[in-house]
Amino acid sequence: MRMTTNPFNLSGKTALVTGADTGLGQGMALALAEAGANIVGVSIVSMDETAKLIEKTGQKFHGIQANLISQEPIDGIIAETLKHGPRIDILVNNAGIIRRNDAIDFSEQDWDDVININLKTVFFLSQAVARNMMADGKGGKIINIASMLSYQGGIRVPSYTASKSGVAGLTKLMANEWASKSINVNAIAPGYMATNNTQALRQDEARSSEILGRIPAARWGKPSDLGGAVVFLASAASDYVQGITLPVDGGWLAR
């Protein structure tokens, strides 16, 4: 019988996941650990719950507390991550924030804070990790987290829409430049997920009903729904996939 290897197996890999304390980041970190990767999580708060979940899989977890609203922590994050593995094989740029207000009243501070975390840090952390991946010529996987608002305008979230549209474009740019270095850069666009970012929407009965009425799957997404997508894009199974933004949306865009 001919033996085959599992292209989704991440054993021996180290994954750096930002915003890993809860929600989508926690769900993706857990999925990567279940596929065999060791996890280094980054968040502005402690990640005790994530640590316990990942340690139950038998994989290692190390948490780094840092505020990604500025670029100052990046060099330290890279250095500390490399203490827990020989290299960074996978980067998941999940950390993000959202600010809501009518565009006519939106403040410069709310614009800058969202763009800094959701777009600027995504680029400069990716740059730093890509340099590490290029240093030994082994490449790696960079996975950005886009949004339904990478495709649509939305309402009352101008800086979030701008940042997530930017993430989709930046994903293509980095893929164009780094594919020849064996670095795959792709994005996942989650649909409407039951997370902290959507709590206000879910508590608004009228808005929640409107949203659910358009989702063919007829439910809000769960962090675990991103597991298959992130493992695919982090694994050898996606070695010839570059620059895509993969919707995981219960059919929202199809509707």
Using DSSP's 3-state secondary structure scheme, residue 39 falls into strand
Tokens at 71, concatenated: 């670029």
Beta strands in the chain (DSSP E): 14-18, 38-43, 61-65, 90-93, 140-145, 183-190, 245-248
Question: Degrees (nearest 5) of the Cα angle 192, 241, 194?
Answer: 15
* Given 151, 160, 192, 240, the catalytic residue: 160
- For residue 1, pLDDT over 50 is answered with no
In angstroms, the Cα distances linking 57 to 19, 30, 109, 110, 228 are 20, 8, 41, 38, 16
Entry pTM: 0.96
Is it the case that residue 2 has pLDDT exceeding 80? no
pLDDT score for 199: 85
At 5-48, the pLDDT tens digits run: 899 999 999 999 999 999 999 999 999 999 999 999 999 999 99
Over residues 40-96, the pLDDT tens digits come to 999 999 999 999 999 999 999 999 999 999 999 999 999 999 999 899 999 999 999
Give per-residue pLDDT as tens, 107-150: 999 999 999 999 999 999 999 999 999 999 999 999 999 999 99
Domain 14-248: which CATH number of 3.40.50.970, 3.30.1490.100, 3.40.50.720, 3.40.50.1450: 3.40.50.720
Q: Would residue 160 show up in a list of annotated catalytic residues for this protein? A: yes
At residue 3, does pLDDT exceed 80?
A: no
What are the two backbone dihedrals, phi and then psi, of residue 143, each rounded to the nearest 5 degrees? -125, 115
